[in-house]
Amino acid sequence: MILKNRIFLATALLAGLASSAAAQNSDGWDMTRIDNGLIASIDYASGQTFMVVCRGRQLDVIMNGVPVDAEGKTRWVGWTTSSGEARQTWIITPGRPLISAARPAHVARLLKQGGALSVRLLPTEQIERVHQYDLPLPTNPSGVDQVLADR
């Protein structure tokens, strides 16, 4: 049930972001007010998007633009930031280029730090190689702070 809710939420959010004229920029974070919530998002020329979402007091962090895994449930994601390296499990959205953080509050705090971020998507049964993305984050944490304040 939770996975179905995440798939629905991620799909709805992407559709809403694509059609939203109300997005405001907060030092790189695009802010979008949605029904019962707020989204801070950032798009990259390489095709990835991070979304920090609070909807109905439920926090989620979604990464769009990742290789599609039609059958998997989880995926290891490695991070390198100025404060060190970490690895954690993300939830796959089957058949879609989306993953959701299993620990969204932890990831939101990481995104708030800003600066250089290197993301490594480790292989799965269907995706055989590592995918790495260097994604600079906004230095001003106010966009993520606004979402976290909605919780």
> What pLDDT sits at residue 18?
45
Strand order from edge to edge, sheet including 49-55: 24-26, 29-34, 37-43, 49-55, 58-64, 98-101, 84-92, 74-81, 118-121, 131-134
Please determine, for residue 139, whether its predicted confidence score (pLDDT) is greater than 50. Answer: yes
Please determine, for residue 137, whether its predicted confidence score (pLDDT) is greater than 80. Answer: yes
Beta-ladder partners of 53: 39, 60
Instruction: Write the pLDDT tens digit of every residue in 8-52.
Output: 455 455 544 444 444 555 568 999 999 999 999 999 999 999 999
> What pLDDT sits at residue 141?
93
> What pLDDT sits at residue 9?
53
